[in-house]
Amino acid sequence: MPNDVGQLLLVGVPGAELDVETAAMLRRVQPGGFILFGRNIKTPEQLRKLIDDLRDLSAVEPVITIDQEGGRVSRLRLIGEEPPNAQQLRDRGNPELVRRHGELTAKLLRLFGFNLDLCPVLDLSFDDEADNSLRGRCYGRTVEQVIALAGEFNAALRAGGILSCGKHFPGYAAAVEDPHHSFPVIERSRAEMEANELAVFRHFAPLVDSMMIGHIHYGSLDPERRPASLSPVMIDGLLRGEMGFEGLVMTDDLDMGAIIDTTSFEDMLGLGLAAGNDLLMICHRVEMLDQARAVLKKQPSDLLAASLGRVAAFKEKMAPSTDFSPAAFEAINRDIWALRVATLGEEKACEKSLEDGKRSPVELY
């Protein structure tokens, strides 16, 4: 089992290619995985090379992940067609289109060398217009809708060889603030949550490969005012203990305002590990990875061993990438366009994303 604490870091990459300094730092730190954003994507060939380079400098096969949901949260829309988002698929009312979306997403990601998609979003939509980062991203307004449609996507994605991630536990749906910028605190009863948000996560606990923990606080679930992502009550207690989740647990991006405005760099790592996270996500402060590794080395050995074991078990499930070719990419791209037309109709399919122009700058990094 890999025992370098760098395996507990899921990190961003500064640009579209690795400079000498960045490559040397990543070789030293040996992160467990990499998350890519728009800043890393210029052309199909460039993206595949970057991912191959990241894999080459890793002593242990790395997690390579991205947010490829559909709509505005589709990083690969920068080089190809934009798939429909969850709300558009929901409104179309055809589960077969959702399954097709999962199949195409898996093919597309494996072509570039990804092995994990940070999907599906399991949040309910209580308000389709709420400014809480979820606009357009939810598969349903009811528990039954989310279970049915997110379930179709999740099953197809995994069947295609891409591991899945349920997010954002225990749910951002009731938030009126965006955690990219501030720390949402929600007063909502345990009974209300059990009937709604938690019912969805309980259903998916045995069905997803990993869970992402949100930077949100529910007073009815945790008496201490802290983000769920840093709470042992929420992760070790509710998610692992009560719900029986046995997969990989990761934080949402620890560079969001909800964390950096309230918690020091060292504390966020120590508290994140102690809460039960296996991967600590640092998307933007990449220059601090040596410091992050040093902080983790000081943490209790039993906590490190438990998380390192779960990371290693997760990596055993990762499928290899498929051979890249421009022709293969174009074929998948045509199929994504056909899915968009089938979902929206040709006229609307030709329009820009419903969310274009409304995207948070943080989501574009």
**Predicted confidence band of residue 364 (pLDDT cuts 50, 70, 90):** very low
Q: Is 225 within 8 Å of 217 (Cβ atoms)?
A: yes
Catalytic residue, candidates 67, 117, 123, 252: 252
Residue 361: per-residue pLDDT: 38
Amino acid found at 99: R
The per-residue pLDDT for range 310-319, each reduced to its tens digit, is 999 999 999 9
Q: 15: burial class by Cβ within 10 Å (0-12, 13-18, 19+)?
A: exposed
Q: Is the pLDDT of residue 161 over 50?
A: yes
Provide the β-strand partners of residue 192.
none
Q: Is 167 within 8 Å of 194 (Cβ atoms)?
A: no
The per-residue pLDDT for range 66-118, each reduced to its tens digit, is 999 999 999 999 999 999 999 999 999 999 999 999 999 999 999 999 999 99
For residues 33-43, b (16+ Cβ closer than 10 Å) or e, as one string?
bbbbbebbbee
Contacts of 183 (CB under 8 A, 6+ apart): 177, 215, 216, 217, 227, 257, 258, 259, 261, 262
Region of poorest pLDDT, from 102-106, 131-135, 137-141: 131-135
Average pLDDT over residues 208-218: 95
Contacts of 126 (CB under 8 A, 6+ apart): 141, 173, 174
**Separation between Cα atoms, residue 61 and residue 56, nearest integer Å:** 9
180 assigned to active site: yes
Residue 330: per-residue pLDDT: 98
User: How much of the chain exceeds pLDDT 70, in percent?
Assistant: 95
SS (H, E, C) the chain: CCCCHHHHEEECCCCCCCCHHHHHHHHHHCCCEEEECHHHCCCHHHHHHHHHHHHHCCCCCCEEEECEEECCEEHHHHCCCCCCCHHHHHHHCCHHHHHHHHHHHHHHHHHHCCCEECCCECCCCCCCCCCCCCCCCCCCCCHHHHHHHHHHHHHHHHHCCCECEEEEECCCCCCCCCCCCCCCEECCCHHHHHHCHHHHHHHHCCCCCEEEECCCEECCCCCCCCCHHHCCHHHHHHHHHHCCCCCEEEECCCCCHHHHCCCCHHHHHHHHHHHCCCEEEECCCHHHHHHHHHHHHCCCHHHHHHHHHHHHHHHCCCCCCCCCCHHHHHHHHHHHHHHHHHHHCHHHHCCCCCCCCCCCHHHHC
Q: Is 240 within 8 Å of 234 (Cβ atoms)?
A: no
Please, what sign has the CA dihedral across residues 173, 177, 178, 179? negative
Go through the domains of the chain in sequence order and give each one's CATH number: 64-364 (3.20.20.300)
Query: Which phi and psi angles does 270 have, rounded to 5°?
Result: -65, -45
Average pLDDT over residues 287-291: 96
Which of 255, 39, 9, 210 is CA-nearest to residue 115? Answer: 210
Tokens 């077969």 correspond to 96
What value does the mean pLDDT of the chain take?
Answer: 93
Contacts of 197 (CB under 8 A, 6+ apart): 123, 124, 170, 171, 173, 174
Residue 184: per-residue pLDDT: 77
Q: Is the pLDDT of residue 18 over 90?
A: yes
215 assigned to active site: no
Catalytic residue, candidates 180, 203, 217, 284: 180
Q: Is 139 within 8 Å of 89 (Cβ atoms)?
A: yes
**Separation between Cα atoms, residue 213 and residue 67, nearest integer Å:** 15
Please state the pTM of the whole predicted model.
Answer: 0.94
